[in-house]
């Protein structure tokens, strides 16, 4: 298992992006669910330290643990890996679908 990055005051959340994608949330949606600012999520995903209260709120919103968010290697089940692959595929396909719809209304 990877090491945990942080202390009681806060820390880094190297797995936050993975868990956010796994749950099919964008930053704005996660911010609303967790009650934190989008800038907090941005800082956390860039590897900057955030307060432990924010980490707890993010973990709760993502239905995971603070330990999972703070690990270098997220702990995932095979089902989580499959869901992550589907979520990542949707993140790629959705903008293409939107563009296709926009082009079809112009034609």
What does the pLDDT look like over 4-13, one tens digit per residue?
A: 444 444 677 7
Strand order in the sheet with 50-51: 6-7, 10-11, 50-51
Highest mean pLDDT (candidates 18-22, 31-35, 56-60, 86-90): 31-35
Report yes or no on 107 lying in a domain.
no
> CATH number of the domain that 57 lies in?
1.10.260.40
Closest CA to 35 of 15, 60, 8: 60
pLDDT above 90 for 36? yes
Q: Is the pTM of this model over 0.85?
A: no
The domain tally of the chain equals: 1
Report yes or no on 33 lying in a domain.
yes
For residue 97, what are the domain limits? 6-102
Report yes or no on 1 lying in a domain.
no
């Amino acid at each position: 298992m990877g090491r945990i990055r942080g202390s009681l005051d806060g820390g880094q959340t190297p797995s936050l992006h993975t868990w956010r994608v796994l749950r099919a949330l964008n930053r704005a949606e996660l911010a609303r669910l967790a009650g934190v600012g989008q800038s907090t999520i941005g800082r956390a995903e860039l590897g900057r330290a955030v307060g432990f209260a924010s980490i707890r709120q993010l973990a709760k919103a993502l239905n995971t643990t603070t330990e999972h968010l703070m690990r270098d290697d997220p702990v995932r089940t095979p089902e989580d890996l499959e869901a992550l692959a589907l979520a990542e595929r949707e993140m790629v396909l959705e903008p293409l679908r939107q563009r296709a719809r926009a082009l079809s209304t112009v034609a």
